[in-house]
A and B are shown apart, each in its own frame.
Chain A
Amino acid sequence: MKAHLKVKRKRSQKQEVWKFIVFAVVLSSIFLLYPIFYSMYLSLHSMQGLQSVFVGFGNYLRMFQDDIFVKALMNNFTFLIFQVPIMVILGLLMAFLLNTPNLKGRTFFKLALFLPCVTSLVSYAVLFKMMFQIGGIINNALLNIGTIQSPIDWLNSPFWVKVTVIIALCWRWTGYNMIFYLAGLQNISDDTLEAADIDGANGFQKFFQVVIPQLKPVIVFTTITSTIGTIQLFDEVVNLTGGGPSNETLTAAQLIYNHSFIYTSNFGYSATLSWALVVIIAVLSIVQLKISNRD
């Protein structure tokens, strides 16, 4: 009798639980699972506007022979390899400086460094485009202080255009990552730093051997989010360079957009390329987690 009651209570408890989660399950099925499966279905079709043909794995085969996609991915990786480390190091340095105890105007500096993150992606890209014009403020400034003899064509030289994009990305995102490091720094107990002082550690030693190890989880987190952000890079390059010159700044996300909206609207192939990005991001994230968990 008792046992029977228990079972009954358990079952009604279960039903209660279902009531709580059913709403979330339904919503995520409609807005998360359905699009995921539908994009898989799409990736098996080749489309032109409203016309759609089943091609099986044809899109995937096409992708492996698509030099433009490979080039776009290589551009993504170039940005990743240079921009993420620069940004992480700059962000750490800025956070460390802002965290020094007797700094005047700390709130002002924090706000100033964080403000780029609340500007719209499009407007800052447009501003950078104006600043880096051949007769723009950056060239004029460099000419005036005598760093360069003739203006640099930032936006049309295959090399400088990449530099420009990296500078823009750093300007926009360093402050954002800095906030995470600041929060992490405030959790580091002063005892450890004091202990290092007593042991005679200088600033560098404190930074590299006391602070950095304790910030590791935050650094891993920001590295992964920045990696994902760089692989999905879109707004900046579209508005700053349009992917040019010679596809030197074309990113995979922009190529997906082009296939969907600029050329003949082949959403099937776009979905295929998107799945390739998903796999790449997943692999990179797992690798980064594995590396950081090793020791």
Chain B
Amino acid sequence: MMKKKLGVFFLGVFSASLLAACTGGPEANPEDFASGDENTITIWAWDTNFNIPIAEKAAEYYKQAGHEDATVNVVEMSNEDTKQKLVSGFTSGVSEGLPDIMLMDDYDVQNYITNYDGKFAELSNDIDFSQFAEYKVENASKDDGVYAVPFDSGSAGLYYRTDYLEEAGYTPEDMQDLTWSEFVEIGKDVKEATGQWFVAFIPNRGTHYIQMAMQSAGLWYFDESGEIYLKDNPAVREMAEILKAIEENQLAKPVDYFAPEGIGAVTSGEVAAVNSAIWFSATIRSAEDQAGKWAYTNVPKLETVDTATPYSNLGGASWVVLEESPNKEMAVDFLKTEFAGNDEFYQDILVENGAVGTYLPSQTGEAYQFEDPFFNDAPIYKDFSEWMAEIPGVDYGNNTQAAVDALRSVLQDYFDGNLTLDEMLEKAEENYTMQVGE
């Protein structure tokens, strides 16, 4: 009797683990990476609402432009996974199992093209890079070569809910030309008047706020000689205080801003404001019931930095071609034809996907004049792309991720009063040095 029951139990466990095995691990699919077939290219990218449909649309255009036999295989993979697979492939010296084209976060581009010399195709002979926004090209350049085709803009702005702000006594005019401390004051009023969260992100991981502020003043985590630059960086100092104020007044719903919880907080109407890039407008627009309730303006400005502007960048990505790709020529031709030459394609993804490219000739197109009913007929693409031209260029260097982690590892202690501002930034610099091992 006992034995039989145990048998039933293990049968149950086994079938459950089989089920888990089926749904759990990702299966290696031979179509997920570059093949020897000379008419097929494979692209890795992330974000099924943005990059994936855009890459698929580019593939359609490419086929229509006289490449009927071409197969473009777009594979969805998280940003982390693409990097992990790339690093594993490169360091083990294996060139199989990788794609022909890959999307790469702009913050990572310098790190990869410097540390994996010779692994990415040099593109300046095939593509005219003078047609792209300068700051993107600079980020993709090493020595005299250019190693990535700039894609979308991270031109940043402040999105806000007009209804919540009105409840707190603010008109759209009041929202113009804010400084960061004014932004926090408004947040307090909104929270008091409406009971809503003001923004949604985890303050101790709020490095994207610091990055937006730094770039708006032409600064970054590193000084001109590439040394870590936190303690004496006026933008970091001012923003640390801003983040502390946001944390202390509980203005931010503490959820990861780019995870489903953070996006959900915005689309379900829980927050009154978002500082983010133009690519975030697609997410805001997906909350159809909030049409007409959103407006946008420039990002807040730093007060303590002379070079401060209200123009900045958040995220944005570029396409790289792998040097050892079996179909490198076709891959380059694909990028050249669509991402560096097809105005119609850019107009299409602008209207359909809210993608503001950094390919300058496309920005004179009609679609850029589009007055978006969701944002009360404001010409959102025209505004953000005009701001794009003003964004100060900065060198993201090789170690942005290490600097991000170094800061995130100390912010909560600063918020809690365990460290002063100076102590915190000193410790962050020490952590950074340990992480990069200099």
Cβ distance B218 to chain A, nearest Cβ, rounded Å: 24
Determine the chain A residues whose CB is within 8 A of the CB of B90 once the complex forms: 49-50
Provide the bound-state CA to CA distance between A261 and B16, in Å: 33
Q: Give the residues from 45 to 81 in chain A that come closer than 8 angstroms, CB to CB, to chain B.
A: 46, 48-51, 62, 65-68
A155-B254, A261-B83 in contact; A50/B115 too (CB < 8 A)? yes
Please determine whether B413 and A246 come into contact, CB atoms closer than 8 angstroms. Answer: yes
Provide the bound-state CA to CA distance between A19 and B84, in Å: 40
A50-B90, A62-B437 in contact; A245/B412 too (CB < 8 A)? yes
Report, nearest first, the 5 A-B pairs whose CB atoms are least far apart. Answer: A49-B115, A246-B412, A245-B412, A120-B24, A118-B17
Provide the bound-state CA to CA distance between A184 and B413, in Å: 47
Count of chain B residues near A, Cβ 8 A:
52
Which of B9, B19, B112, B436 has a CB less than 8 Å from the CB of A111?
B9
Determine the chain B residues whose CB is within 8 A of the CB of A265 once the complex forms: 87, 91, 115
A284 contacts the other chain (CB 8 A): no
Determine the chain A residues whose CB is within 8 A of the CB of B112 once the complex forms: 49
Please determine whether A261 and B434 come into contact, CB atoms closer than 8 angstroms. Answer: no
B20 contacts the other chain (CB 8 A): yes
Please list 24 pairs of residues, one from A and one from B, whose beta carbons are closer than 8 Å in the complex, sorted by A's number. A48-B115, A49-B87, A49-B112, A50-B90, A50-B117, A68-B435, A111-B13, A115-B16, A118-B13, A155-B254, A156-B412, A186-B2, A244-B412, A245-B205, A246-B204, A246-B409, A246-B410, A246-B411, A248-B412, A258-B405, A261-B83, A264-B115, A264-B399, A265-B115
Cβ distance A155 to chain B, nearest Cβ, rounded Å: 7
Determine the chain A residues whose CB is within 8 A of the CB of B116 once the complex forms: 49-50
Determine the chain A residues whose CB is within 8 A of the CB of B413 once the complex forms: 246
Please determine whether B409 and A134 come into contact, CB atoms closer than 8 angstroms. Answer: no
Determine the chain A residues whose CB is within 8 A of the CB of B80 once the complex forms: 261
Determine the chain A residues whose CB is within 8 A of the CB of B253 once the complex forms: 134-135
Please determine whether A244 and B204 come into contact, CB atoms closer than 8 angstroms. Answer: yes
B111 contacts the other chain (CB 8 A): yes
Which of B20, B117, B399, B412 has a CB less than 8 Å from the CB of A263?
B399
Determine the chain B residues whose CB is within 8 A of the CB of A153 once the complex forms: 254
Provide the bound-state CA to CA distance between A249 and B355, in Å: 37
Q: Give the residues from 89 to 129 in chain B that come closer than 8 angstroms, CB to CB, to chain A.
A: 90-91, 111-112, 114-119
Cβ distance B204 to chain A, nearest Cβ, rounded Å: 4
Provide the bound-state CA to CA distance between A118 and B90, in Å: 34
Interface string of A88-129 (1 = CB under 8 A from B): 000000000000000000110011001100111001000001
Please determine whether B255 and A133 come into contact, CB atoms closer than 8 angstroms. Answer: yes
Determine the chain B residues whose CB is within 8 A of the CB of A65 once the complex forms: 434
Determine the chain B residues whose CB is within 8 A of the CB of A246 once the complex forms: 204, 408-413
Determine the chain B residues whose CB is within 8 A of the CB of A259 once the complex forms: 435
B290 contacts the other chain (CB 8 A): no
Determine the chain B residues whose CB is within 8 A of the CB of A135 once the complex forms: 253
Provide the bound-state CA to CA distance between A25 and B309, in Å: 66
Given contacts A48-B115, A49-B112, A49-B114, 14 further A-B contacts (CB under 8 A): A48-B398, A62-B434, A68-B431, A111-B9, A111-B16, A114-B9, A115-B16, A156-B202, A156-B254, A245-B411, A259-B435, A263-B399, A263-B402, A263-B436
Interface string of B405-432 (1 = CB under 8 A from A): 1001111110010000000000000110
A130 contacts the other chain (CB 8 A): yes
A51-B115, A246-B409 in contact; A68/B91 too (CB < 8 A)? no
In the complex formed, the residue of A with least CB distance to B437 is A62
Determine the chain A residues whose CB is within 8 A of the CB of B361 once the complex forms: none
Interface string of A239-271 (1 = CB under 8 A from B): 000101111101000000011111111110100
A133-B261, A246-B204, A263-B435 in contact; A114/B402 too (CB < 8 A)? no
Provide the bound-state CA to CA distance between A262 and B87, in Å: 10
B39 contacts the other chain (CB 8 A): no
Please determine whether B434 and A269 come into contact, CB atoms closer than 8 angstroms. Answer: no
Please determine whether A49 and B91 come into contact, CB atoms closer than 8 angstroms. Answer: yes
Interface string of B328-347 (1 = CB under 8 A from A): 00000000000000000000
B114, B255, B402: most-surrounded residue (chain A CB, <10 A)? B255
B28 contacts the other chain (CB 8 A): no
Cβ distance A114 to chain B, nearest Cβ, rounded Å: 6
Please determine whether A244 and B205 come into contact, CB atoms closer than 8 angstroms. Answer: yes
Cβ distance B111 to chain A, nearest Cβ, rounded Å: 6
Q: Give the residues from 10 to 34 in chain B that come closer than 8 angstroms, CB to CB, to chain A.
A: 12-13, 16-17, 19-20, 23-25
Determine the chain A residues whose CB is within 8 A of the CB of B20 once the complex forms: 118-120
Please determine whether A262 and B261 come into contact, CB atoms closer than 8 angstroms. Answer: no
Cβ distance B89 to chain A, nearest Cβ, rounded Å: 12
Provide the bound-state CA to CA distance between A95 and B205, in Å: 42
Provide the bound-state CA to CA distance between A66 and B436, in Å: 11
Provide the bound-state CA to CA distance between A68 and B398, in Å: 20
In the complex formed, the residue of A with least CB distance to B416 is A158
Provide the bound-state CA to CA distance between A114 and B409, in Å: 36
Provide the bound-state CA to CA distance between A273 and B253, in Å: 36
Determine the chain B residues whose CB is within 8 A of the CB of A258 once the complex forms: 405, 435
Provide the bound-state CA to CA distance between A265 and B412, in Å: 27
In the complex formed, the residue of B with least CB distance to A155 is B254
Provide the bound-state CA to CA distance between A114 and B11, in Å: 12
Provide the bound-state CA to CA distance between A155 and B119, in Å: 39
Please determine whether B87 and A261 come into contact, CB atoms closer than 8 angstroms. Answer: yes
Please determine whether B436 and A67 come into contact, CB atoms closer than 8 angstroms. Answer: no
Q: Give the residues from 178 to 225 in chain A that come closer than 8 angstroms, CB to CB, to chain B.
A: 186
Cβ distance A53 to chain B, nearest Cβ, rounded Å: 11
Determine the chain A residues whose CB is within 8 A of the CB of B114 once the complex forms: 49
In the complex formed, the residue of A with least CB distance to B80 is A261
Q: Give the residues from 122 to 150 in chain B that come closer than 8 angstroms, CB to CB, to chain A.
A: none
Which of B2, B119, B254 has a CB less than 8 Å from the CB of A134?
B254
In the complex formed, the residue of A with least CB distance to B253 is A134
Which of A68, A134, A260 has a CB less than 8 Å from the CB of B434?
A68
A106, A134, A153, A248: most-surrounded residue (chain B CB, <10 A)? A134
Provide the bound-state CA to CA distance between A119 and B20, in Å: 6
Please determine whether B87 and A107 come into contact, CB atoms closer than 8 angstroms. Answer: no
Cβ distance A174 to chain B, nearest Cβ, rounded Å: 15
Determine the chain A residues whose CB is within 8 A of the CB of B398 once the complex forms: 48, 264
A49-B116, A120-B20, A244-B204 in contact; A260/B87 too (CB < 8 A)? yes
In the complex formed, the residue of A with least CB distance to B261 is A133
Determine the chain A residues whose CB is within 8 A of the CB of B9 once the complex forms: 107, 110-111, 114
Cβ distance A219 to chain B, nearest Cβ, rounded Å: 21
Determine the chain A residues whose CB is within 8 A of the CB of B19 once the complex forms: 118
Provide the bound-state CA to CA distance between A266 and B259, in Å: 28
Cβ distance A148 to chain B, nearest Cβ, rounded Å: 16
